[in-house]
Amino acid sequence: MSNINIVPCSPDSLSQLKQISIQAYKDHYLYLWHDEGEWYLNFSFSEQALRKELTDPNAAFFQIYDEGKLVGFLKLNINKALENYSEEECLELERIYLVKHASGRGIGSKLIEFTVSFARERNKKLVWLKAIDRSRSVSFYEQNGFNKCGTYTLEFTQMKEEFRGMYIMKREL
C-alpha cells in the first residue's frame, strides 16, 4: 500500500475540503439523483454548510493524502447515540469519501482502522454508520467488522426512490 496520511481539518482547510468533497462525490454518487446530484452538492458541500460542520465541536474532519496528494476526507461524529446506546458510548462514521483513482487500494480499510483507534482513545463502545443498502460499501463494511443492525430511509425527494434505503451498521469495540 502507498503512503497514507490522515490530517485533521481546520476551518482554514475549507477550500480544499470543498474541492475534494465535490470531486469524490461526483466520482461515485451522481447516479443516485434525478438532478445528477446538483441539489445535494449545494446542500452538503457549499462553503456555508462545510463551515458549519467544521466548527461543530462534535464533528471531526480529516483530509486523506496518498503519496502527498489529497485523495479524500473522513468525517466522524464524536458523540452520536444509536438505539440502546448513549451518545457517550458511540461514535458515528458519517463519511468516507475518496476520489475514484484512490478507491479499491486499501485506503478505506486504513480509515476504518483509524476510526476504531480514534473511538477507543475516547473510550467508545461502538462505531456505527449508515450505508446505502444497494451499495458495494455494505460488503466493504462487513469485511471490516461491521454488522447490520437496522434500516433507515432517506427523505430526500431529489434522490431516486430506489436508492433511499440504508442499512444501519455497527461495530462493537
Helix (H) or strand (E) holding 92: strand 90-98
Give the per-residue pLDDT at 2: 67
CA quadruple 120, 82, 85, 151: dihedral positive or negative? negative
Whole-angstrom distance, CA of residue 115 vs CA of residue 61: 11
Give the per-residue pLDDT at 11: 86
Whole-angstrom distance, CA of residue 46 vs CA of residue 41: 7
Domains and CATH numbers, the chain: 4-128 (3.40.630.30)
Q: Mind listing the pLDDT tens digit of every residue in the chain (173 residues)?
A: 569 999 999 889 999 999 999 999 999 999 999 999 999 999 999 999 999 999 999 999 999 999 999 999 999 999 999 999 999 999 999 999 999 999 999 999 999 999 999 999 999 999 999 999 999 899 999 999 999 999 999 999 999 999 999 999 999 99
Closest CA to 115 of 162, 75, 164: 75
Side by side, the strands of the sheet bearing 4-8 are 4-8, 59-66, 69-77, 90-98, 126-132, 165-172, 147-153
CB 162 within 8 A of CB 128: no
